[in-house]
Chain A
Amino acid sequence: MATFVFLYFAAIILVTASLVVVLRNPIYSALSLLVMFFHVAGLYVTLHAEFLAAIQIIVYAGAILVLYLFVVMLLNVKRDERYSQQGPVALFLGAVLLTEAILLAVSHGLTVAAPSPVAAGERMAGNTESIGEVLYSTYLFPFELASLILLVAMIGAVILSKKGIMESKPRSREGTTHQSPGGVI
């Protein structure tokens, strides 16, 4: 039963992931990515990671994908784009990687070390609670760094997409070419 559920999720994930790459209209790509996010969340639920499933839906489907759709509709992209010309290079690299993976799988076998009995014994009871305990004790410093990353990303996005900051620079440099170079940043 669990295998059938996994196979259903895996099939939908693979199909929608291929559609993201194959479809020509960016809006359809973003929407099929939305379907994929929901099925990845379902996969997390079958793996007893309910907190991450909720986070996946809220952050990925709710925030990131909406941002994508905003930009796609803001830019109003023409649909005449074509595939790039480096297909042979991609084919060659893909063939090399595929043979490497097959060789590794054949020689070593796709086996993973069995879980240690102690670790398998302590099943996490409340997923959110135990994640919180680990996150705020062992991984407290990376957690703070993550907030710093978000701050930097926010400032960077504002500076990059704000109109005045980007375009006042060349104009002011153009007007002040005769002045001392130290005066213009």
Chain B
Amino acid sequence: MNVPVEYYMVLSGLVFLIGLVGVLVRTNLIIILLSIELMLNATNINFVAFSAHFGNLAGQVFVFFALTVAAAEVAVGLAIIIALYRHHASINVDDFRLLKW
């Protein structure tokens, strides 16, 4: 492997940062879920890079588990979005202030 693992760390850090900014800045619930997917992918890139760097397959197995959790999160999150849209006719985060003080 010619590419040093630090490059992958920087790349995954930047992708994670973009996802974090997306969660904080956007108000559309679907875009927020997409940004969470970005963050999960950043961690997966890190896992695979270190797995290749140390020659240990445990990193790739954990990517498998992260993928399972991502699929579950998407299913439940989209179901929540549909239920919210059915009740309030909106998926804008600023419209939901029931739990805000």
Contact = CB atoms under 8 A, between A and B. Distances in A.
A67 B35 contact: no
A6 B34 CA distance: 24
Given A51-B60, A90-B24, A150-B72, A43 B82 contact: no
A90 B65 contact: no
Chain B at the A interface: mostly helix, strand, loop or mixed? helix
Nearest to B41: A40
A181 interface: no
Given A52-B60, A123-B55, A139-B61, A71 B34 contact: no
B30 A68 contact: yes
Contacts, number: 219
Interface residues of B, number: 71
A13 B49 contact: no
B28 A26 contact: yes
Interface in B36-67: 37-38, 41, 44-45, 48-58, 60-61, 63-65, 67
A179 interface: no
Interface of B: 1-3, 5-7, 9-11, 13-15, 17-22, 24-28, 30-31, 33-35, 37-38, 41, 44-45, 48-58, 60-61, 63-65, 67-76, 78-83, 85-86, 91-94
